Structure 1
Amino acid sequence: MKTGFVHEVHVVIYCDRCGDIYSENGTEGICFTSVHQAVNYLNARSAGVGWLYDGDKVICDGCLAAARCEEHGHSYPDTWQTVTRLLGISTRSRTCTVCGIPEIEALP
């Protein structure tokens, strides 16, 4: 039986490109008992969360989306959202549906 403070070793998944931690609740990484367990878990879940393990590198969903947009260009919707800010300055914007990067233009 373990009690008190016990030092244990575990495996956490990080993106090899950006260093983002694999998390399902948005704040804390999941602890695995081995690399094998982490790989199996990620491969079983990757279709739903978008992370990819190719046998060598782990790539997060954000990096995969950014790579897709770098290769094929952004996918912006046809419609823009217009915002009038303080002092009468107006902008219009739209967001890429793949990677989430916004395109913003100042209006005259």
Structure 2
Amino acid sequence: MGEEEKILERTKKVLEEIAKLDLKPLFELDRELAASPQLRAEFIKDPFSVAEKYGFKMPQNLKDEGFHMHWIDSNNNYYPAEGSAIEQLQKSGTKPWTRVEVRIGTAPGCIALCGVQRLIV
């Protein structure tokens, strides 16, 4: 199996795991993060811990795949901050990669679950 097929197979498995998640608690978390700077400060330190308080649990296998979580405000500010897009694009060199992202929101912000699948780290 070639590199592109391998990364696409990994991506398919990640999407299957995401499809099993109960994302409903993230709607309430989105509303609360929009309303509370104090909660945002806590979320920046440990997004998954805060999300668990609202009933969402990210499985360890997706965390191991590099999945992380942000809250994005109406000005496109990421909490916690996302790294440089250019850096992300160049990290794999010429190796194939994919990015899977799911956004859950109630407006004006949203929760983003993000993961980049790579053959090299």
Place the TM-score, normalised by the shorter chain, in its bin: under 0.3
> What's the TM-score once normalised by structure 1's chain length?
0.26
Q: State the structure with more CA Rg.
A: 1
> What's the TM-score once normalised by structure 2's chain length?
0.24
Report which structure shows greater RCO (CA 8 Å, sep ≥6): 2
